[in-house]
Amino acid sequence: MTPDAAVATAVVVVVLIAALAIRIPVAFALGGAGLVGLVMLRDAEYATSVLGAAPFTTTASFSLTIVPMFILMGMFAVRARIAEHVFAIANRVVRRLPGGLGVATVMACAGFSAVSGSSIGTAATMARLSVGEMRKAGYPASLATALVAVAGTLGVMIPPSTFLVLYAIMASQSVAQMLAAGIVPGLMSAAAYMAYIMLIGSRQVRTPETLEDAVADAATGAARPSLPWRGLVRVVILFAIVIGGMYSGIFTSTESAAIGAVAALAMLVLERRRDGGRAILVHLRGALTDAGSTTAMVFLIIVGSAILSAFFVVARVPDAITDAVTALSLPPMVTMALLLVCLIPLGMVLESLSILVITVPILLPIAEAFGFDAIWLGVLIVKLIEIGMVTPPVGINCFVVAGTTGERPETVFKGVAPLFGVDLVVTTVLFLAPALVLWLPSLVRQ
Amino acid sequence: MTDSTLDRVVRPVDRGVRTIAGVLAVLAALAIVVLMLAICADVVVRTATGASLPGMVELAESSLVVAVYLAIAWGLVRGEHVVVTLLTDRLGHRASHVLAIVAGIVVVVLLAWATVATFERAAEATRVGEERFGLVRWPLWPLRWAIVVGFAVTLVVALVQLVDAVRGRLPHREEVQRDA
Amino acid sequence: SSGGGGSAAGDDAIELTLATSAIAGTPNAAAQDWFLDAVEEATDGSVTFDRTAPESICTAAEIVECLRDGRADVGVTIPDYTPQYFPTVSVVGIPFVGQNSAAITASLYDLHTQDEQAVALMERNGLHYVSAWPVGRLLLGTDAPVESIADLQGISARASGPVVQQVLSDAGMSITAVTASESYEAVERGVIDGVGGAIDFAVNYRIMELLPYWTDPGIGQYSTFGMWFSADAWERLSAEQQEAVTAVEEEFNEGAAVEAFNDQAATQCDAMLEATTVDDLTAWSEDATEEWIDQVGDSAREAWTTVAADFGLEDPDSLLDAYEASLDEHAELEYVDATSSCVEAFATR
Ligand code: NA
Ligand code: NA
């Protein structure tokens, strides 16, 4: 990195923090900081070119249609009262289990990840579906939102995942093995989040009195309201359509989101059919406008982050970090660990696909020279980038959950802090025991 | 200029731009419907015939661009863009006021810059007839204009909010109705 | 943006920023790197390249735009992504016309340095043409053997290259619009049951893990990778530097590009030969290909002519004539096709 680039990077970091501090919307803060850096390193014309191009290139992509479609599916499902019904059932079934609803949310995120190839899509959808229900059951906002933000990151780890496919192509690895490699780490992460909620997180839950009464009633066998089982049936049908259609080859994972949205719309009509056509139209319109504004909010953040990414590439920040770390001449394991940890700050501010494109060509040759497995490296890169997506002060998944639920980002970040620790533990285990990552791929034909 | 003369200019602009932003938001919502239907149509036709319905992938992609940029102005009207409030919550009224003005100016400058930058890009794309050529030929340049329109209307919304901030009014942050 | 490069660099030392979509280790990257190395050497390090990682500063479809707006100085990508700029290079898309990669590369260079229309087009685009080389013969990957057009009926496939998609579709295949990065999972689950593309699609996108039958139907070269300087970057070079680069361009287009490409393509062939999942890699009989040529007739040429006219070529027919004349002229260029040799090698695997 040139001295100019070092100065520019420092300025960009300061500008970003200052912009966030004075309540400039996150998307503008990210993009603005990137533009300042580009003007410093190149010129205003260069920055204008990036600003003119990024809004188009970061949205005009078929694979990104998955984000608005899953958001829309979530909006329909909420208005079809599916979430409400399922959580009512979950609440009854798991009420003896500490943090039962949180566990159910993580399981739902993991299940949803088997459909969605996008962390942001998973987080936005699940935020809409589960945060409100957890709040009703006495979960503090920080815990409820953080769970969704963190468990949303499972979206790219558990296949399908275009992210893992892209890594496999860049690293010349078998795609089948790469996808298989994501399964165990994804499930391990999910299990770790659940363990956290059951053992620690559940202490924050303050069950509302009405619910306590209901539980007491249930215990004495009095006035037990019948459960809305149809919600559960519908969620099973929804998942059967989306997962079944995808794994049987009727549609791709990107397309599954739109199919899911149509199925959820059908559920909405079914649930509200007695309220009349007018009521259905009101819900339809509401769901669409909500989906529209959430989509715009999410993509504007992605555009801002893409502009900042452009600066990081021009300043050669990833190269500089790598050079600095390798210059220390530490043992291979330590060097690799340091390089991977450096992905967290990059994951905080950059759009995750661009970090992959920027860092893989730098990290892979180093890892291969040290004799590390490329598939193992890929899983760790993905895991650390995903951790970066929920790291304060600028984790993109947290902003998405905040934007979707109307909570403040700080609230989400506050809840994320302990889960961040959980993630680091999981990552350390994966780092020290590559067999956990590589066992499943070894069973897949090459 | 007195407050009332300023009001005579600002309020109609405010009303007008909110109306426009609202209309664009409806169009954005329709674009999401088109996106959903395009993908479903492609899946249905492919399941029936084995081949894609030409143009549906391109239509879905285009709808996404329209959906995003036609909705950003309405997002600003409703105060939905994500902000971090950690610091400003702890400041006094006066300091908050000054910072709100600074933030408003920054947002206006960025939006103006984005409008100009994307306008130049749209004009160029129109001149060369930018398109994608797969199963069908699909013009891309009209999408560039959707982006320009989105940023331009958002810019006007941001300007009105800035004027209000300077005059000590809080930006309109309507309570977002969320009936979960 | 420019900094002192090599030791022998003089006052006019210049560093040019590369924007590329060629993934490291692919034949296209090998061709690109040969050129960049040769220029650095021929100019004694007075022209150097900042070789940014693939798609890091600009995405594949955006690279030409980046050259035009100055974000990059040298671009390497697939011209078909931005067809409005390259109606000339798109002649390669006409099926059955052009089998010899070396002759095609040389002919395209002739066109872009001598033909008035092609030269004017590049000027209008704000680009200095360096080269365009074919990405390799079209292979069809399927889950059952395909030996003639009769076997193509009803196969649902993903293919790239606009004209080729039309030809495959006319021959009875069902063409689907699946993205490249989603192709693997689409084939795996049976959304599609075939692909059409060069050997690097089979190997780098790992489709060979999934589809057992691969065949060369004789369509030949169907799409290209291109390389350009921005006109602005070209003008920043001194007269001496331009002269040195031009000499490298000539060597590159007269055989070095295709040679570098083929050397790397041989490693892709090894991957095909080693893949236990690939049951067969063959080529159609001449009769079978002939049947398809007859069926296509002049329709593909006419389709190209119409589109090229839309994209601003005043007289596409004369350009096509010039291209074919040039192909004949270069027909003697020594040439061993990497895909065809791979088919032969597979027979004795
Ligand atoms: Na997934
Ligand atoms: Na051809």
CA count, 13 A, side-chain hemisphere, B86 = 16
Bridge partners of C213?
A: C142, C280
**Res. A377 pLDDT band, cuts 50 70 90:** very high
**Which of B57, B124, B128 is nearest residue C177 as measured by Cβ atoms?**
B57
Beta bridge mates, C20: C76
pLDDT in tens, A180-213: 899 999 999 999 999 999 988 788 887 765 555 5
Residue A254: φ, ψ to 5°: -65, -45
Query: How high is the pLDDT of residue C7?
Result: 44
Integer Cα distance of B159 and B164 in angstroms: 9
Residue of B64, B157, B177 to mutate, interface with A, max A Cβ within 10 Å: B64
Please tell me if residue B131 touches chain C, with a CB cutoff of 8 Å.
yes
Kindly identify the ligand whose nearest atom is closest to the C-alpha of C94. Answer: 2
Interface test with B, best of A24, A67, A76 (most B CBs within 10 A): A24
For residue A215, the model assigns a pLDDT of 58
Cross-chain residue pair C206–A175, CB shorter than 8 Å: yes
Q: What is the ipTM of this complex?
A: 0.89
User: Neighbouring chains of B at 3+ CB pairs within 8 Å?
Assistant: A, C
Angle at A187 between CA A185 and CA A188, to 5 degrees: 60
Q: Which residue of chain B comes nearest to C174, CA vs CA?
A: B51
CA atoms of A438 and C76, how far apart (whole Å):
36
Residue of A nearest to B75 (CA): A293
* Angle formed by the axes of helices A175-199 and A141-152, nearest 10°: 160
Is residue B137 within 8 angstroms of chain C, CB to CB?
yes
* Chain A closest-CA separation from residue B90 CA (Å): 11
User: What chain B residue is nearest to A46 in terms of C-alpha separation?
Assistant: B117
Q: What is the pLDDT of residues A206-236, one digit of tens each?
A: 776 555 555 555 555 544 567 788 888 887 8
pLDDT in tens, A395-404: 888 988 998 8
Residue C224 is inside which H or E element, if any?
strand C224-230
Return d(Cα A158, Cα C276) in angstroms, integer: 27
Q: Give the three-class secondary structure for A61.
A: coil
Chain B residue with CA closest to C125: the answer is B128
The predicted structure's pLDDT at residue A80 = 86
Cis peptide leading into residue A160 (ω within 30°): yes
CA angle B54, B55, B59 (to 5 degrees): 155
- Average pLDDT, integer, range A329-356: 82
Measured distance CA(A276)–CA(A274) in Å, rounded: 5
Q: What pLDDT, in 10s, does the model give residues C114-156?
A: 999 999 999 999 999 999 999 999 999 999 999 999 999 989 9
Task: Report pTM.
Answer: 0.88
pLDDT one-digit tens code per residue, C193-218: 999 999 988 998 889 999 999 999 99
**Cα distances (Å, whole numbers) of residue C51 to A137, B47, C37:** 55, 44, 11
Per-residue pLDDT tens for A315-332? 888 888 888 888 888 898
pLDDT tens profile A290-320: 889 888 988 898 899 889 888 988 888 888 8
The verdict on a CB contact (< 8 Å) between A358 and C53 is: yes
String of b and e for A415-432 (b: at least 16 CB within 10 Å)? bbeebbebbeebbeebbe
The ligand whose atoms approach the alpha carbon of C90 most closely is 2
Q: Return the number of other C-beta atoms located less than 10 Å from residue C302's C-beta.
A: 11
CB pairs under 8 A between A and B: 190
Query: Confidence band (pLDDT; 50, 70, 90) for C75?
Result: very high
Confidence label for C1 from pLDDT (cuts 50, 70 and 90): very low
Helix (H/G/I), strand (E/B), else coil: A335:
helix
**Chain B within 8 Å of C84 (Cβ-Cβ)?**
yes
User: What pLDDT does residue A104 have?
Assistant: 86
- Which residues does chain B have with pLDDT short of 50? 171-180
CB contact under 8 A, A313 and C56: yes
Q: What percent of chain A has pLDDT over 90?
A: 32
Statement: residue C91 has pLDDT above 90 = yes
- Ligand 1 centroid to residue A176 C-alpha, Å: 14
Of C84, C156, C165, the CB nearest to B50: C156
Structure tokens at C79: 């011209």
More confident residue, B166 or A51: A51
Secondary structure class of B138 (helix, strand, coil): strand
For an interface test with C, the pick among B52, B118, B136 (most C C-beta atoms closer than 10 Å) comes out as B52
| Mean predicted lDDT score pLDDT of chain A | 86
**Amino acid present at A261:** A
pLDDT, position C116 = 94
